Amino acid sequence: MPEQTGPSTQKKTVETQEQRPMRGLLAEAPMRAVLVSIDASETDWPIEESLDELEQLATTAGVIVADRLVQRMEHAHTATLLGSGKVKELKNLLEFHDCDAVIFDLELKPSQHRNLERELEVQVLDRTALILIIFGQRAQTREGRLQVELAQVEYDLPRLTRQWSHLSRQSGGGTNQRGEGEKQIEVDRRMLRRQKDQLSADLEMVRSQRQLHRERRKYTGSPVVALVGYTNAGKSTLLNRLAGSSTLAEDKLFATLDPTTKRVRLNGGQEILLSDTVGFVQRLPTTLVAAFRATLEEVGEADMLLHVVDASHPHYQHQIDAVEQVLEEIGAGGLPMVVALNKADQLPPDAKIQLAGIAATVATIEVSALAGTGIEGLLHCISEELVKQFVAIDVIIPYDRGDLVAQFHQFGMIESEEYEDAGTHLHGYLPDNHSGPFFAFQQGSRLRKPKVHKGKVLLYTSTPNGVIPYEPKANKVDEEVDEAEETPSLIKG
């Protein structure tokens, strides 16, 4: 008699599938490794800085870095990236440190992978593979794991031959004999292609669901501010500070991967959704950009970007350039933006931050997410930037329509609020998707533009002493957004 499976058993099966370890060539990280790079004329980042970041990535993956090796050359070797003499030196170094892997700070071609593993007889990884391993370790939700698995499958397919080289050696015979290893490769390739097709179909469904959520939010939801920035710039810490929450924040690259969206209500009454997104790195693998399209589209659909920069990093401008490049690639380069120069408490008192690129043309403010300094000013900058996109409203709401007054407080910015015989007189600004019900109560025929003085939006509130300026302040957040309703969880960093 077949075993009965109730709801609890089915739930356990789903959980087991989501918690299963990643499969494929990148299922596990090595124990000890040597880092390798080449100093070529076309190198776009300083070698030592790039290797420092690679070591941080390795540490995040749980790999012990035993040593480094750099070869200076005009052009990389086609077959092995390094010259033959350097390959021998690297093999001796690996044996000396008892390493089981070597990690290259470049993207290797499949043929270079095969040649290097044959010469070195250890696991060979490149920057892309290392990042994929980290993502595989960090992804917790089903969607996050789907995206990581798709990226890993796409990475595995052209490199599959190296996994079955031992079977070819077992087959024996002459050079023209086709052995068991070659047959097994074809079987595995077909399995990987089927897996890729299934993952792509699942992710397309995720993408469609996200589009529906975005459409609903466009007409009924609060403005969305997406946190973007280089990995380990302090986005999660800043989210915790602004939202009064306890999202995981560690001094590691890609410390957290699944996204978090919080509701934050400003002092002026406006509610915004603050969404933490994936952290970027230099040379972000194209396989990741393609696989995580559903998540990255969320950034492109945001109402505003909050670019968090580690101002204490010696090469912060390089990191800014890397983030802006990815934003351009995903179609988010032209969105309104505020730049938060984080970790300002670690700067010398006389330090001056000089920015270039897009960051030099938008509002910037120095903050310390950890210490809490500059947060009021940052919230004011966010309010000023958002109100530029709003519709100016001047309405008298009848007293029996308190629901509209509450809606104005929830989604808009109040310039002034007065109680008159005919009802509640409100001056302020509302997102366009919430302004429709108010036009019936609009005073006059014109829609007013936000007041701007010397590039700054002026906000006012009514008090017993008259109309005075105010600066919005953050409220300790309501609660975490219901991911099933607001935004399906995927990746972040």
CATH of the domain at 51: 3.40.50.11060
Do 431 and 381 lie in one domain? The reply is: no
Residue 466 pLDDT > 80? no
pLDDT digits (tens, 9 = 90+) for 315-353: 899 899 989 988 888 888 889 999 999 999 998 888 888
Residues 125 and 265 in one domain: no
Q: What is the pLDDT of residue 290?
A: 66
Q: Are 402 and 281 part of one and the same domain?
A: no
Q: Would you say residue 4 has pLDDT above 80?
A: no
Q: What is the rounded average pLDDT for all residues in the chain?
A: 76
pLDDT of residue 487: 37
Summarised one tens digit per residue, pLDDT across range 355-407 is 888 888 899 999 999 999 999 889 888 988 888 888 888 999 999 999 999 88
Query: For residue 71, what are the domain limits?
Result: 22-138
| 86 part of a folded domain | yes
Q: 479 lies in a domain? A: no
Count of structural domains, the chain? 3
The encoded tokens of residue 143 equal 């969607």
Residue 268 is predicted with a pLDDT of 64
Q: Do 356 and 415 belong to one domain?
A: no
Rounded to a whole number, what is the distance in angstroms from the first to the last CA of the chain?
Answer: 49
Average pLDDT on 139-158 reads 80
Position 169 pLDDT exceeds 70: no
216, 209 in Cβ contact below 8 A? no
59 and 87 inside one domain? yes
pLDDT beyond 80 at 92 = yes
Mean pLDDT, range 429-441, rounded to an integer: 82
What is the C-alpha separation between 231 and 234, in angstroms, rounded? 8
176: which residues sit within 8 A by CB, 6+ positions away? none
> For the residues 306-323, what does the mean pLDDT come to?
91
Dihedral pair phi/psi, residue 30, rounded to 5°: -70, 175
| Cα separation, 390 vs 413, whole angstroms | 9
CATH number, domain with residue 440: 3.30.70
246 and 375, same structural domain? yes
The reply to whether 17 falls in a domain is no
Tell the burial category of 326 from Cβ atoms under 10 Å away from its Cβ (0-12, 13-18, 19+): buried
Of 226-230, 435-439, 469-473, where does mean pLDDT reach its minimum? 469-473
Do 237 and 310 belong to one domain? Answer: yes
Q: Is residue 200 part of a domain?
A: no
* 379/267 same-domain check: yes
Same domain, 359 and 314: yes
Give the end of a domain, one of 386, 415, 441. 386
**Domain boundary residue, one of 105, 138, 171:** 138
